[in-house]
Amino acid sequence: MVKSLGFGFVVFSTTTLTLLGVGCGSGDNGPGGATAGSTSTPTAGSAGSAGSAASGSGGSAVSGAPSGGGSGVAGSAGQSTTGGAAGSSNGGAAGSSSGGASAGTGGGGGSGGSSGVPSTEKFSFFVTSMASLLELAKAKDATATVGFGGDLSYGEVGAGAGLRGADKICTALAEKGMPGNNKVWRAFLSATAGENGQPVNAISRIGAGPWYDRTGRVVAMNVAGLKSTRPMGGDATIAVDLPNEFGVPNHQPNVAEDEVDNHDTVTGSNAQGELNSNNMGATCNDWTSKVGATGKPNCGHSWPRSANQSWISTHAAGGCAPGVNIHGEGGPAQGDLTIGAGGGYGGFYCFALTP
């Protein structure tokens, strides 16, 4: 069976996805192309380690986020203050905020953050879209044609790398949905151990609310509203079909095409947004492993396939391997160890700490 998503993706099987020209960006080079010696001065994030001098190749279509990036390379020795992986002084491996890769003074490390003044426009929640997530994964690793799987470290290393990397991915995609939003974004993921070695609950990472989608609609006003089968206290349309970084309902990302079965959204959490299991395999080794047999991370449904299905916790995914299945075949097939086996692509939720 073959189904087109309208983003330039063609799905051929449960575990194999052939990408024929991602249509959700402006090409290999961001606006402005490669420039040498970026001199911008970021203001957020913690100090990173020194990088080795090099110049960038072209930035990806999702490059330019303050702390995300794809295919850029390390700058000269210095400290990263934006929380990106080794790259330009704007933070991120894919280049400067103008969209092109660049040589610069960045270093490694830091937690996913933002630079500049946060936008006052209401945008603080989204589901990572399949098109953007797969594009970002491929920009980071040309062989990653079916996404990140359970390894969301995105160039981060050490304790808490999976959560920091996932935060960087959220920041990069938020920038894609609203350029210049400059907010601090957090992935809605639990882990058995964070940077301090202690368990992390997703619900405790995301602030107090309220949260809005890209078009300004209320998702929930507070944490209590999130701790429901579907988010309460917000727009009823959102509650039954949580939107992506463009404010588009995830069930039908292209209104000109059929709906797709992409409901599974990983959280590693129980229905209250807390760590579901102390077994590291249930979080794909705290979001650092893409080996299918590592474990089966818990996931919720961005839209319910049937009544009373939680957006946070419905069942375990097939495994931690990258994979896409949007055919509507029900739960994960026996022996399918991909993260999208039950109807998904390894997507997750992102929240900003400010509305």
pLDDT in tens, 240-283: 999 999 999 999 998 888 899 999 999 999 999 999 999 999 99
Q: Where in the chain is the domain with CATH 3.10.100.10?
A: 117-355
- Write phi, then psi, for 250 (nearest 5 degrees): -70, -25
Tell me the two tokens of residue 88: 């330009």
Least confident of 24-28, 126-130, 155-159: 24-28
Q: What is the mean pLDDT of residues 278-304?
A: 97
Query: Rounded mean pLDDT of 98-127?
Result: 61
Is-above-0.75 flag for pTM? no
Q: Which amino acid is at 128?
A: T
Indicate whether 72 pLDDT > 60: no
Q: For residues 14 and 341, is the Cβ–Cβ distance under 8 A?
A: yes
| Pick from 81-95, 205-219, 327-341: least confident | 81-95
pLDDT at res. 115? 60
CATH topology of domain 117-355: Mannose-Binding Protein A; Chain A (3.10.100)
Sheet holding 185-187, edge to edge: 125-127, 349-352, 185-187
Q: How far apart, in Å, are the Cα atoms of 81 and each of 88, 92, 115, 155, 355?
A: 11, 10, 9, 16, 23
The Cα–Cα gap between 160 and 5 comes to: 34
Amino acid at 107: G
Average pLDDT over residues 51-71: 35
Distance CA(166)–CA(212), nearest Å, equals: 20
pLDDT of 234 higher than 80: yes
- Contact of 301 with 287, CB cutoff 8 Å: no
In the chain, the percentage of residues whose pLDDT exceeds 90 is 62
Residue 158 has a CB neighbour count (10 Å cut-off) of: 9
